[in-house]
């Protein structure tokens, strides 16, 4: 027996095993896409980045734990980035910052998932005090990070610069980059490129093929939106988990208490796959293939329910009527504290009247309505959600404002121009353009009163938000329509009641008009007509 064969055999097996492990490590390409940029990496920078990629895979056990944690949190992170209009590629930055450890603390005292210092956290409307530290809340901290990155990208028009500004601050990044990358679509990376961007590329390359690789026990992170005051102890009973489980995944509440100043997201782990939102496929229009689902009540549809959480208000809601205090659907906005003219309102918030009118799709002379939210930043071409089911009393303008989408975009996507063409139960597209000649589906509405509130987060100290659309008569059904009447000189409630065949009290109720019976020229009144 030749024993010299065995050391050689062991060497071959070890070499094979090592090469197999190495083959599993992704290699840094010469070119890749990041956000809307093409990134070209020279050989020296590729070697440098590859060392960081290899380091991620060095300990297989640690890598698997980290990968499973990434996959647990990533669906929520992706959703919030997409809602904010931030490229999904930015999701790898949170892995670089904290490894998705909620209570991670840096040497510079940056805290949480996205590693915010307290001052920066407050700039993006995160609450940090003795009761709550939203830097440790995956939902609100991701919204804050998205807002921060989006604002900085507005300065550079280049996501690489915006990303580096996350580490350097806006001023530092402007001093470092100048304007050399503004608007550029191709970025060359070499040994002189900023280390933070190269480290980010290493995390992107290391994890982009690991997103969606599930742990052996399939689980997902469920979210419960909670308006306090309440406690994790009370929620645990409702959700069927232990209090310790909620504490583990909700370190943002320092004492297990959830205050009542706004809506907070509580997360917990559930077994199984992430539930798929039910599609809206039931239509009252003729179809060659009958729908298999039960039309039921429109309120059972996800698209109907989701409307109650819009517009999404964040920030210092106790000062919502002041400029630069809140965001409305991740856009800068402000709440009107009283009904007034456009001139008076724009003077108070410091914005040009014509610009404000363009941002909010307002006509000249339209009144600013108390309690409504208005945008001070350009609205988006699409909404964060795909569809909206029309409710009684809604107008094209109110729907556009609800989701922060341009009125012209909403009209174009649905090939609909006038409020009179809206019907209760219509399923409007908020992202994709409807094909030419394609009918707008209408889901059956048995009883669909407009919600009494349309705000996702509220404050106990600010005025109650008026209804997203006025409450219609109790007999509202799929054949109920509505008209929006703009008050002109000489109009009275009595005259309008006769014109539309309804009572004065109905008009007052639908439009929250007080006992003084006062209406103003330019005011929009919703009239329900069976």
Q: What is the pLDDT of residues 104-126, one digit of tens each?
A: 999 999 999 999 999 999 999 99
pLDDT at 48 over 70: yes
Of 62, 64, 85, 82, the closest CA to residue 74 belongs to 82
- Decide: helix, strand or coil at residue 282: coil
Compute the average pLDDT of residues 210-219.
66
- Mean pLDDT of the chain, nearest integer: 80
pLDDT at 318 over 60: yes
pLDDT at 1 over 60: no
- CATH 3.10.350.10 domain locations along the chain: 217-275, 276-468, 481-529
What's residue 371's pLDDT? 84
Which CATH superfamily is 217-275 part of? LysM domain (3.10.350.10)
Q: Provide the angle, in degrees to the nearest 10, between the axes of the packed helices 407-414 and 396-403.
A: 110
pLDDT at 12 over 80: no
pLDDT tens-place string over residues 433-456: 887 778 888 887 544 343 333 333
pLDDT tens-place string over residues 157-166: 999 999 999 9
Q: pTM score, two decimals?
A: 0.54
Beta bridge partners of 133: 128
Residue scoring higher pLDDT (493 or 469): 493
- CATH 1.10.530 domain locations along the chain: 23-207
Compute the average pLDDT of residues 168-172.
93
What's residue 275's pLDDT? 59
Compute the average pLDDT of residues 203-215.
81
pLDDT tens-place string over residues 293-305: 333 444 445 556 6
Compute the average pLDDT of residues 491-500.
75
Distance (Å, whole) CA 266 – CA 76: 12
Residue scoring higher pLDDT (290 or 298): 298
Task: Tell me the pairing of strands 186-189 and 37-41.
Answer: parallel
Peptide bond into 67 cis (omega under 30): no
Angle formed at CA 427 by CA 425 and CA 430, multiple of 5 degrees: 140
pLDDT tens-place string over residues 251-272: 999 999 999 888 899 999 988 7
pLDDT at 10 over 60: no
Residue scoring higher pLDDT (346 or 278): 346
Q: How confident is the model at residue 308 (pLDDT cuts 50, 70, 90)?
A: confident
Distance (Å, whole) CA 358 – CA 366: 13
What's residue 302's pLDDT? 56
CATH, range 276-468: 3.10.350.10
pLDDT at 131 over 90: yes
CA 400 → CA 71, 311, 330, 335, distances in Å?
34, 10, 14, 16
CATH, range 23-207: 1.10.530
What's residue 304's pLDDT? 62
Residue scoring higher pLDDT (130 or 16): 130
Angle formed at CA 87 by CA 32 and CA 189, multiple of 5 degrees: 35
Secondary structure letter of residue 511 according to DSSP: T
What's residue 439's pLDDT? 82
pLDDT at 148 over 90: yes
pLDDT tens-place string over residues 55-85: 999 999 999 999 999 999 999 999 999 888 8
Instruction: Pick 481-529's CATH classification: 3.30.70.20, 3.30.70.100, 3.40.80.10, 3.10.350.10.
Output: 3.10.350.10
Sequence-separated (6 or more) residues with CB below 8 Å from residue 108:
117
pLDDT at 204 over 80: yes
Q: How confident is the model at residue 11 (pLDDT cuts 50, 70, 90)?
A: very low
pLDDT tens-place string over residues 502-528: 777 777 777 767 655 667 777 778 787
Measure CA 190 to chain center. 35
Beta bridge partners of 374: 334
* Most distant CA atoms of the chain, gap in Å: 114
Q: Are 374 and 333 in contact (CB under 8 A)?
A: yes
Beta bridge partners of 387: 429
Q: Which of 273-287, 341-355, 498-512 has the lowest mean pLDDT?
A: 273-287
pLDDT at 476 over 70: no
Distance (Å, whole) CA 106 – CA 109: 5
Distance (Å, whole) CA 145 – CA 329: 14
Of 511, 505, 509, 514, the closest CA to residue 523 belongs to 511
């Amino acid at each position: 027996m030749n024993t010299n064969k065995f050391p050689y055999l062991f060497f071959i097996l070890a070499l094979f095993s090592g090469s197999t492990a190495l083959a599993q490590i992704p290699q840094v390409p010469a070119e890749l896409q990041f956000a809307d940029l093409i990134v070209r990496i020279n050989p020296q920078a590729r070697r440098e980045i590859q060392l960081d990629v290899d380091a991620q895979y060095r300990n297989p056990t640690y890598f698997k734990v980290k990968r499973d944690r990434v996959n647990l949190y990533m669906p929520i992170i992706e959703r919030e980035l997409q809602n904010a209009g931030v490229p999904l590629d930015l999701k790898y930055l949170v892995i670089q910052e904290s490894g998705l450890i909620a209570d991670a603390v840096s040497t510079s005292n940056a805290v949480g998932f996205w590693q915010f210092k307290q001052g920066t956290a407050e700039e993006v409307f995160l609450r940090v005090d003795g009761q709550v530290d939203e830097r440790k809340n995956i939902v609100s901290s991701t919204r804050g990070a998205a807002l921060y990155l989006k604002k900085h990208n507005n300065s550079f028009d280049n996501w690489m610069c915006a990303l580096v500004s996350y580490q350097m601050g806006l001023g530092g990044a402007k001093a470092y980059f100048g304007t050399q990358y503004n608007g550029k679509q191709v970025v060359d990376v070499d040994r002189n490129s900023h280390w933070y961007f190269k480290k980010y590329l290493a995390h992107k390359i290391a994890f982009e093929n690991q997103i969606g690789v599930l742990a052996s026990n399939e689980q997902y992170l469920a979210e419960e939106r909670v308006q306090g005051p309440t406690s994790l102890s009370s929620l645990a009973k409702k959700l069927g988990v232990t209090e310790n489980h909620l504490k583990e995944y909700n370190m943002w509440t320092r004492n297990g208490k959830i205050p009542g100043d706004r809506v907070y997201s509580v997360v917990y782990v559930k077994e199984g796959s992430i539930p798929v939102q039910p599609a809206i496929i039931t239509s009252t229009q003729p179809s060659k293939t009958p729908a298999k689902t039960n039309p039921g009540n429109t309120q059972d549809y996800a698209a109907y329910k989701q409307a109650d959480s819009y517009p999404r208000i964040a920030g210092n809601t106790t000062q919502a009527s002041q400029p630069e205090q809140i965001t409305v659907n991740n856009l800068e906005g402000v709440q009107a504290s009283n009904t007034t003219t456009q001139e008076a309102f724009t003077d108070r918030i410091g914005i040009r009247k014509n610009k404000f009118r363009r941002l909010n799709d307002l006509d000249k002379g339209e009144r600013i309505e108390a309690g409504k939210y208005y945008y001070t930043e350009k609205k988006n071409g699409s909404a964060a959600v795909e569809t909206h089911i029309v409710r009684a009393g809604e107008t094209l303008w109110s729907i556009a404002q609800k989701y922060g989408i341009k009125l012209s975009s909403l009209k174009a996507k649905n090939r609909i121009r006038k409020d009179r063409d809206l019907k209760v139960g219509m399923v409007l597209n908020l992202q994709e353009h409807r094909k030419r000649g394609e009918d707008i589906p209408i889901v059956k509405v048995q009883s669909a009163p407009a919600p009494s509130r349309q705000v996702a987060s509220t404050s106990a100290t600010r005025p109650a938000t008026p209804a997203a659309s006025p409450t219609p008569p109790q007999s509202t059904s799929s054949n109920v329509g509505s008209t929006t009447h703009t008050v002109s000189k000489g109009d009275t409630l009595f005259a309008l009641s006769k014109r539309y065949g309804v009572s004065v009290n109905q008009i007052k109720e639908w439009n929250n008009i007080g006992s003084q019976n006062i209406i103003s020229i330019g005011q929009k009144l919703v009239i329900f007509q069976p």
